[in-house]
Amino acid sequence: MDKSRTARRISPAGVLLGSFGGAILLGAAVLRLPFMQTRGDVSFLDCLFTATSAICVTGLVSVDTAAVWSTAGLATIALMIQAGGLGIMTFSVAMIYLAGKRPSVRSHLALKGALGPVPGHEIGRLARDVVLYTLTLEALGAMVLFWRFWQDMPVWPALGVAVFHAVSAFCNAGFSTFAKNLEDYTSDPAVNLVIMLLIILGGIGFVVLRELKAWLFSPRGKGMRRPRLSLHTKVVLKTTAALLVGGAVALWALEYNASGGQAWRGSIWPILFNSVTPRTAGFNTIPMADLSNSSLLFIILLMFVGASPGSTGGGVKTTTFAVLIALLRGRLHGEDRVTMGRRGISAAQVGEAQTLVLATALVLTLAVLLLVSLDHDMMGKDRGDLLAYAFEAVSAFGTVGLSTGITFDLVPASKLALILLMYLGRLGPLTFIYVVSTRFSPARYRLAEERLMLG
């Protein structure tokens, strides 16, 4: 009886937290097996770090992926990336639906929490579409990458590398089987285009993909209208486009001002790629350490925003960023309500956006302070290293995976801190806020108000 009551008290958000936590521990145990490694000397901490990074589709690595993991290990990492990208609950509930069974109410609510505000009768169909869309887009991307990689290596290795990178790109993971990530393909049009397209499609969210498919392939004829795109989809597409274009222009200007644009190696591809990949992907075609401090700081801002809700990416999300911009615009115009696309945004949602950003900023501030404090070699030395630690922390929490190159040299305590950041970032601060807030009952009274001096 007590056990059943305890089970009922576990919220859908708690189910998601437990699912990802269990998957990470299982993945670490599997990677610790001798045949998963080439030399068998990878510590459990590094296995845990790799499993967390894969399940949380981050891409940060504490060991050389290409050198230490066997073929079986790389295949396991790819499976963890796929499972993490889809979402543990999304994947499991979709499998139940495809098998012709019905999920429990708790699993149903957890899936809805993972994918966003979707009508109840659409959850099953959306879960099925998530799997089908993912596998289809990854297969198409893998075909093009296979054609390109086949020019550089034998057929079977080329196929394996193509599939691995297609899965990693669509799931916004950033893992690569190449020792230098994608730096050998800095100006390669095929690799750049496919990887960027997969990152963008994986980062805009499954609900948006579904609406776009219905909008693009709807029947056309006399008296027939295309289905209208929801406000959510419009906001996601406009904000994503603005960040991609604005990001590319800003990065070009910042690097040109710092070094005449030397980091871009005379090509437009690194500029475009570095505008896309901070949106929680983590691939790099040039070393991050080659960029100026101003560019790194701007990339931190892009990583902070991240991808869109219901996607494979992290960050505070594009819609949160758009709501805060709309709030600022409204306040500057003297408006009381927040409006977007001729629609009003509820005060509750505006409050959620503000809480999410404040909570994320607080977590990241404490994380950077912790990382700096744990590394005693930094104290009193190069103050510029602070930017590298901040970059690492935001990359982990935003499930991006970009690094200036300090991950390998972090002390064990710092690696544990990054593991926690990746876990928190993948599931989102709002999930934890929900878990905590449901434990407390709201007050049944309101206190008298009094004004403060602000500004």
Question: Which amino acid is residue 290, in one-letter code?
Answer: D
Strand-pair category, 338-340 with 343-345? antiparallel
E-state strands within 15-145: none
Q: Could you tell me the two tokens for 42?
A: 């990878």
The residues, ordered by sequence, that sit 6+ positions from 426 with a Cβ below 8 Å of its Cβ are 20, 55, 56, 57, 58, 84, 314, 399
Q: Could you tell me how many residues make up the chain?
A: 455
Sole residue written with tokens 């068998």: 40
Question: Mind giving me the DSSP string for 152-189?
Answer: TS-HHHHHHHHHHHHHHHHTT----SSTTTTGGGTT-H
- Quick one: CA dihedral 68, 192, 296, 358, positive or negative? negative
Residue 217 exposed, middle or buried by CB count within 10 Å (0-12, 13-18, 19+): exposed
Confidence category of residue 161, pLDDT binned at 50, 70, 90: very high
Higher pLDDT, 127 or 449: 449
User: Is the Cβ–Cβ distance between 166 and 138 less than 8 Å?
Assistant: yes
State the Rg of the chain over Cα.
22
Residue 120 pLDDT > 90, yes or no? no
Measured CA distances, 145 to 138, 139, 152 (Å): 10, 10, 11
**Which has the minimum average pLDDT: 9-23, 226-240, 375-389?**
375-389
User: Is the predicted pLDDT of residue 2 greater than 60, yes or no?
Assistant: no
Q: Where are the domains of the chain?
A: 11-215+229-437
Task: List, for residues 19-61, the tens digit of each pLDDT value.
Answer: 888 899 999 999 999 999 998 889 999 999 999 999 998 989 9
Lowest mean per-residue pLDDT among 4-8, 332-336, 385-389: 4-8
Q: How far apart are CA 349 and CA 353, in angstroms?
A: 6
pTM (predicted TM-score): 0.88
If one counts every other C-beta atom within 10 angstroms of the C-beta of residue 237, the result is 17
Q: Give the pLDDT band (50/70/90) at residue 427.
A: confident
Q: For residue 236, list its beta bridge partners.
A: none
Q: How confident is the model at residue 380 (pLDDT cuts 50, 70, 90)?
A: very low
SS3 200: helix
d(CA 272, CA 274): 6
Share of the chain above pLDDT 70, in %: 81
Give backbone dihedrals phi and psi of 42, rounded to 5 degrees, phi first: -80, 125
pLDDT at 312: 80
169-215 tens-digit pLDDT: 999 898 999 988 999 999 999 999 999 999 999 888 888 888 888 88
Give the model confidence (pLDDT) of 262-280 as tens digits. 888 888 999 999 999 998 8
User: Which residue is associated with the tokens 């510029």?
Assistant: 384
Question: For residue 442, what pLDDT is reported?
Answer: 62
pLDDT at 282 over 50: yes
Q: How high is the pLDDT of residue 328?
A: 92
- Is residue 223 over pLDDT 70? no
Which of 304, 290, 305, 302 lies closest to 255, judged by CA?
290
| Exposure string over 398-430, b if 16+ CB within 10 A, otherwise e | bbbbbbbebbeebeeebbbbbbbbbbbbbbbbb
Structure tokens at 422: 């990746």
Least confident of 196-210, 325-339, 382-396: 382-396
